[in-house]
Amino acid sequence: MNLLTVENLTVTLATGSGDAQAVRNLSFNVGHGEILGVAGESGSGKTMTALSMLGLLPYKGKASGSIKFDGREILTSSKREYRDLRGKEIAMIFQDPMTSLHPMLTVEVQLTEHLRHHRKVSKDAARNSALELLATVKIPEPAAALRAHPSQFSGGMRQRIAIAMALACEPKLLIADEPTTALDVTVQAGILKLLHQLRKERNLSVMVITHDLGVLSSLTDRIMIMYAGSEVESGLTTDLLRNPRHPYTKGLIAALPGNSASNSKNLLSIDGMPPELGNFPTGCAFHTRCNYAKESCKGAIPEVTNLNSTHRIFCPINPFSEVTSAGSQS
Amino acid sequence: MKEILNIKNVSVEYDRHGRKVRAVAGVDLTLNSGEILGLVGESGCGKSTLGKAIVGILAPVTGEVVFDGEKVKKLTRGKRPEHFRNLQMIFQDPYGSLNPRRKIGVQIADGLIVAGMPKKLALLKAADLLEKVGLPRNAVDRFAHQFSGGQRQRISIARALAAAPTAIIADEPISALDTSSQAQVANLLVNLVDEFDMGMVFISHDLSIVRRISDRVAVMYLGKIVEVGTVDQIWNNPSHPYTRALISAIPHADGTSFMPQDLPGDVPNPMSPPSGCRFHPRCPLAKEECKTQEPGLRKLGDGRDVACVLQTAGNQPVTITLN
């Protein structure tokens, strides 16, 4: 059984001009010890999906559908139940470790607070686990690090501390929202290695949200691509990156600087911009930017097409059903 | 190909609580017209500081920047000498670099009005420039908040173009943008460089984009240039261990579960840079002599410059493999 099963999740946010759906009818799951990648441009609903799992939607945000975690429905949880869940069973790390760590408190305070809250352990026991955690995430000299403040660490080290915090109560699911976007590639590679190792050692499930397909390629088992609040394609990382079948996924992959066949300096790009919240196009939301769009794409919301047991797309016309090479995007 | 910028032995210092921090420590570089020079390195290596020193926002403590035959002076409150209007800069954050309370047209026209153009004409020209960067002419009457990040960056580019630049320093111009805007803005810059035969220094931490659009690449580490060469030289056969480490750390988006290599350690504090080669504490190939002797840039047989004892001037580069 999957650790996390999300069905027909719809998130509605209050905007200046009325309610708008940020996530629309999204269904996916994460298995035990699996790393799922969620990719999409800003405004595609990936962060709202994550926040709805933690009961952290912005003011007046509403989620409907079903989120089953470890066998029980959590979407209907009370505030109190969410508080017990957060940090203990589902933990999250954010893009910018400077804003997710308190600048005035020592690492020790921040690393032990929720341990003592959720586990009711003594101060000394909490301190010992904190030392172990810092060693796990490979912070040099853990004892000295405990006494230090976040500003005394570099960005990569701060992200390691944020990961240590997230791991403190041994959560089953770790949600990582753009965990390496603010870091240099040399440091990013270290964090990717660490996440891999944690999954292996702790059978941790990870849901990583990023727009960087390179990061997803080296880190994830499966990828789900989102556009305008909905899934457009999902599949095993190898399948999806090597044989993308949705025009949007194909466009994203073709736009990667390293992926163009020609020697021209110009990059391939998807024309236009992602739609804004509250202004999602009708039918297949991508039809306004899609080179393959037909009249019919404007009408009906696309049905799922299963390409194999793990790879599926939501495209009304499936223009690449006959094509297997990735080089046909013009 | 004409040399438009010549950076000679430039060092820049910041004052941190009375202590001098040398963020850029003796950099030599040249930029030609019609050329994109990528400037890469980890954060904190001095790329942006160097960019600011080139246009005169910061004054170098040693050396000089020569733009089109004249030495660049530090910007003051007074009018900038006419000669240097053709040297422009584009910043990373398109939110912070535009005035939220002034119309876009006026902000672009400013440069033209200062140069003596009548206001009406300048506003017309501003609309032309907006069209040039792919925005509607009526954008002149709108405000910055009415545009997305990618569009704002286009506006910043139009503003820089208003001065008819012959050289542009672009400091992480696409890093704050979404994936699809990134490619669009990068393409715009490439086409403008081509069309106006400008020179551009493209500062970025994203090596894949630099590889794609640059002609030459300069790699910086802790205030110093460690390697300069053509894109192919740098990419296919990096001759400095740091360049090799940077390239090995880039993930491949090819679905082959390739694991990028990390480079342990952090960029040291420029307040107390390591002795000898500044990269030696993190370099897996460091020798004893690297701790004491600072390697200068040397020209290799294929024309590139590199600062590493493993390479010998005049010879072909020795292939660098890390563990």
A256 within a domain of the structure (yes/no): yes
Closest CA of chain B from A93, distance in Å: 20
Residues of chain B with Cβ-Cβ distance to A139 below 8 Å are none
Among residues A140, A168, A196, the one where a domain terminates is A168
Verify whether the Cβ–Cβ distance B42 to A217 is below 8 Å: no
Verify whether the Cβ–Cβ distance B205 to A185 is below 8 Å: yes
Do A192 and A157 sit in the same domain of this protein?
no
Q: Which string of DSSP letters, residue by residue, matches B167-207? A: EEEEESTTTTS-HHHHHHHHHHHHHHHHHHT-EEEEE-S-H
A24 within a domain of the structure (yes/no): no
Verify whether the Cβ–Cβ distance B187 to A239 is below 8 Å: no
- Per residue in A233-286, pLDDT tens? 999 999 999 999 999 999 989 888 876 555 677 888 888 888 888 889 999 999
B31 within a domain of the structure (yes/no): no
- Chain A, 87 to 126: residues with Cβ < 8 Å from chain B are none
Q: How far apart are CA B175 and CA B155, in angstroms?
A: 16
B186 within a domain of the structure (yes/no): no
Confidence of residue A41 (pLDDT cuts 50, 70, 90): confident
What is the residue-level pLDDT of chain B in tens, covering all 323 positions? 789 999 999 999 998 888 889 999 999 999 999 999 999 998 888 999 999 999 999 999 999 999 999 999 888 888 788 888 899 999 988 888 899 999 999 999 998 998 889 999 999 999 999 999 989 999 999 999 988 888 999 999 999 999 999 999 999 999 878 777 888 899 999 999 999 999 999 999 888 899 999 999 999 999 999 999 999 999 999 999 999 999 999 999 888 878 999 988 777 888 889 999 999 999 999 999 999 999 999 999 999 999 999 999 999 999 999 87
Among residues A112, A139, A168, the one where a domain terminates is A168
Among residues A135, A168, A201, the one where a domain terminates is A168
Report the complex ipTM: 0.84
Closest chain A residue to B36, measured at CA: A265
Residues of chain B with Cβ-Cβ distance to A184 below 8 Å are 42-43, 205, 249
Closest to B252 (Cβ–Cβ): which among A211, A214, A271? A214
Of residues B219 and A115, which shows the higher confidence score?
A: B219
B73 within a domain of the structure (yes/no): no
Q: How far apart are CA B240 and CA B206, in angstroms?
A: 18
Q: How far apart are CA B318 and CA B323, in angstroms?
A: 15
B90 within a domain of the structure (yes/no): no
The count of residues in chain B is 323
Q: How far apart are CA A284 and CA A297, in angstroms?
A: 6
- Per residue in A45-73, pLDDT tens? 999 999 999 999 988 899 999 999 999 99
Do A190 and A43 sit in the same domain of this protein?
yes
Q: How far apart are CA B156 and CA B154, in angstroms?
A: 5
Do A39 and A138 sit in the same domain of this protein?
no
Do A274 and A163 sit in the same domain of this protein?
no
* Cβ–Cβ under 8 Å, residues A31 and A6: no
B28 within a domain of the structure (yes/no): no
B303 within a domain of the structure (yes/no): yes
A41: left (phi over 0), alpha (psi -120 to 50) or beta: beta
Q: Tell whether B189 lies on the interface with A, counting CB pairs under 8 A.
A: no
Cα B285 to chain centroid, rounded:
28
The contacts of residue A211 (CB under 8 Å, 6+ apart) are A39, A40, A41, A42, A178, A181, B178, B179
Structural domain harbouring B254:
238-323
CA R_g for chain B: 21
Closest chain B residue to A214, measured at CA: B253
Mean pLDDT of A205-223: 94
Q: Tell whether A326 lies on the interface with B, counting CB pairs under 8 A.
A: no
Find the DSSP H helices in chain B: 47-55, 104-114, 119-132, 149-161, 179-196, 207-213, 231-236, 241-248
**Among candidates A179, A182, A188, A217, which has minimal Cα distance to A46?**
A179
Do A208 and A263 sit in the same domain of this protein?
yes
What pLDDT does residue B310 have?
95
| Number of compact structural domains in chain B | 1
* Cβ–Cβ under 8 Å, residues A164 and A137: yes
Average pLDDT over chain B, rounded to whole? 92
Q: Using the predicted structure, report yes or no on whether residue A322 has a pLDDT greater than 70.
A: no
Do A161 and A276 sit in the same domain of this protein?
no
Do A228 and A310 sit in the same domain of this protein?
yes
Closest to A42 (Cβ–Cβ): which among B42, B178, B262? B178
Q: Using the predicted structure, report yes or no on whether residue A328 has a pLDDT greater than 60.
A: no
Q: Using the predicted structure, report yes or no on whether residue A327 has a pLDDT greater than 50.
A: no
The contacts of residue B211 (CB under 8 Å, 6+ apart) are A257, A258, B38, B217, B231, B235
Do A42 and A141 sit in the same domain of this protein?
no
A233 within a domain of the structure (yes/no): yes
* The two structure tokens encoding residue B72: 């660049």
Average pLDDT over chain A, rounded to whole? 89
Q: Return the H-helix or E-strand segment holding A53.
A: helix A46-53
Do A271 and A122 sit in the same domain of this protein?
no
Do A209 and A85 sit in the same domain of this protein?
yes
**Among candidates A181, A187, A176, A173, which has minimal Cα distance to A213?**
A181
B278 within a domain of the structure (yes/no): yes
Confidence of residue A91 (pLDDT cuts 50, 70, 90): very high
Q: How far apart are CA B30 and CA B9, in angstroms?
A: 11
3-state secondary structure of A18: strand
Verify whether the Cβ–Cβ distance B205 to A239 is below 8 Å: no
A209 within a domain of the structure (yes/no): yes
Closest chain B residue to A255, measured at CA: B183
User: For position A317, which CATH number holds?
Assistant: 3.40.50.300
What pLDDT does residue A330 have?
35
What pLDDT does residue A207 have?
97
- CB atoms < 10 A from the CB of A199, how many? 18
| Number of compact structural domains in chain A | 2
Structural domain harbouring A257:
30-60+81-89+173-322
Residues of chain A with Cβ-Cβ distance to B254 below 8 Å are 217, 241-242
A231 within a domain of the structure (yes/no): yes
β-pairing, A18-30 vs A35-39, is: unpaired
Do A268 and A146 sit in the same domain of this protein?
no
Q: Tell whether B93 lies on the interface with A, counting CB pairs under 8 A.
A: no
Query: Which residue is it, tokens 């408190």?
Result: A105
A4 within a domain of the structure (yes/no): no
* The two structure tokens encoding residue A177: 């929202």
- Per residue in B214-273, pLDDT tens? 999 999 999 999 999 999 999 999 999 999 999 999 999 888 878 999 988 777 888 889
Verify whether the Cβ–Cβ distance A274 to B180 is below 8 Å: yes
A9 within a domain of the structure (yes/no): no
Q: Tell whether B145 lies on the interface with A, counting CB pairs under 8 A.
A: no
What pLDDT does residue A329 have?
39
Give the per-residue SS3 of B95-132.
CCCCCCCCCHHHHHHHHHHHCCCCHHHHHHHHHHHHHH
CA angle (A292, A297, A303) in 5-degree steps: 110
- CB atoms < 10 A from the CB of A85, how many? 21
Q: How far apart are CA A251 and CA A244, in angstroms?
A: 9
What pLDDT does residue A318 have?
87
The contacts of residue B129 (CB under 8 Å, 6+ apart) are B108, B158, B159, B161, B162
Do A108 and A203 sit in the same domain of this protein?
no
A107 within a domain of the structure (yes/no): yes
Mean pLDDT of A187-193: 91
**Among candidates B311, B273, B276, B268, which has minimal Cα distance to B294?**
B276
3-state secondary structure of B65: strand
